[in-house]
Structure 1
């Protein structure tokens, strides 16, 4: 079977599609050497509440122009306590909240990392275990990638001996397909359409919320709602 990799910036408690991508590959590379962007998924995500969808955001500070994600630090030390209280308020009555309460409470209340990238990775690794995802996770800095956006992807594939690169559909705007062809590397595009609905405590149904929503509402069946587990 051909070895597959994916490369993506870290997100905070990402949605199910993010974990579907991780589970679709052999190695997932967290690529946080790129510029941090405001109002993005790096430090925030969505929760499904009775009032609709609401943002939950890690406060961060930008100290210089061109600051990368892995250079970005939190600006308030008590963000984790506030987030845990919010999650308890939103999901306290969810069917499987009690099953995972202790695990997430520990994750939040013992989180003393100051760098956003480290925080994101902490939660991604923990959620992978809950979903039974065994994909290897590495930091792009281990690969010492050079060149433009596409050249770095090619180099990562070569260094990890991957024959297939799995990408989200948004990358179609910049990926140079001919370089992949010239290097005998296939591209597979993630399809985020057609996800089945699962139980949510209020309507209308929302797909694009944090994976926490799926975990607290479906428990150990959560990964059956990911396409990569079919």
Structure 2
């Protein structure tokens, strides 16, 4: 797991790659594809699709940006979609690297998030089956957001039966554009709750949702929506 000390140095235990992302990190995934992802809090289905299909490098040196999946997830409720956001501690200056962002205990958010999941998915087919795996994330405290997101990712991959190949950046990886010749796909800007970019590789598949009688299919919600509704068949949608 990645961690860092109070001086912002990379903490021991971080898997790392050489710049820009992969030629020196060892064997690639079987399909030879490498992608860059931002860290995510119970990331959307699209994010886990990449983790399932690519060898992934998770960017830990990007600047924390509010209103992104770094600290929020989107779930379905009886009243429509709801965003659950983790509050973070204020940091000095206007920017802070993702690896150094600390979680705040403000507003009893853990209790509120768990209750929101219980209310929204308590009647879903597989909530009871998985709740003991998910509840501890709202009972234990993590200092760093990146550590918390990484622990969630590892547990979700275990439950989904996804066997990811991933590592963490050792320095900021330049954003890829049309002129770039980097040997990777960059999804840091594409996977976004407010302004997603086009992703030709992602075509949401419909699946059972608890509130299907009230709303049409709602794509690309938190991976929890897929897990609680489809159980061990969730991986078929990735």
Q: Fold match, TM over 0.5?
A: yes
Residue number in structure 2 paired with 1:191: 200
Change (3 A) 1:169 1:118: closer
Distance 1:70 1:92, change over 3 A: same
1:100 CA displacement: 0.3
User: Residues 9, 201 of structure 1: CA spacing in aligned structure 2 closer, same or farther, 3 A cutoff?
Assistant: same
1:137 and 2:152 are equivalent in the alignment: no
Q: Give distance in 1, aligned partners of 2:189 and 2:118.
A: 33
Q: Which residue in the other structure is 1:55 paired with? A: 83
User: How far, CA to CA, are the matches of 1:224 and 1:148 in structure 2?
Assistant: 32
The answer to whether the Cα contact below 8 Å between 2:44 and 2:223 also exists between their aligned partners in 1 is yes
Report Cα offsets for 1:101-136 as digits up to 9, x if no partner: 1111123323x2111111111111111111111122
Match of 1:55, SS?
A: strand
Which runs of 5 or more structure 2 residues have no equivalent in the other structure? 1-29, 191-197
Cα contact 1:17–1:192 (8 A) shared by 2: no
Quote the Cα distance in structure 2 between the aligned partners of 1:82 and 1:47: 13
Higher helix fraction: Structure 1 or Structure 2?
A: 1
Counterparts in 2 of 1:206 and 1:147: CA distance versus 1, 3 Å: closer
Alignment of 1:124-203 (within 5 A): 124-141=153-170, 145=171, 148-150=174-176, 165-168=184-187, 170=189, 190-191=199-200, 193-202=202-211, 203=215
Moved over 4 A (4+): none
Contact 1:4 1:165 in 2 (8 A): yes
Given the alignment, which residue of 115, 123, 143 partners 2:152? Answer: 123
Aligned length: 195
CA distance 1:115–1:147, change in 2 (3 Å): closer
* CA–CA separation in structure 1 for the residues paired with 2:152 and 2:65: 20
TM-score normalised by length of structure 2: 0.73
Residues 21 and 166, structure 1, Cα contact 8 Å, conserved in 2: no
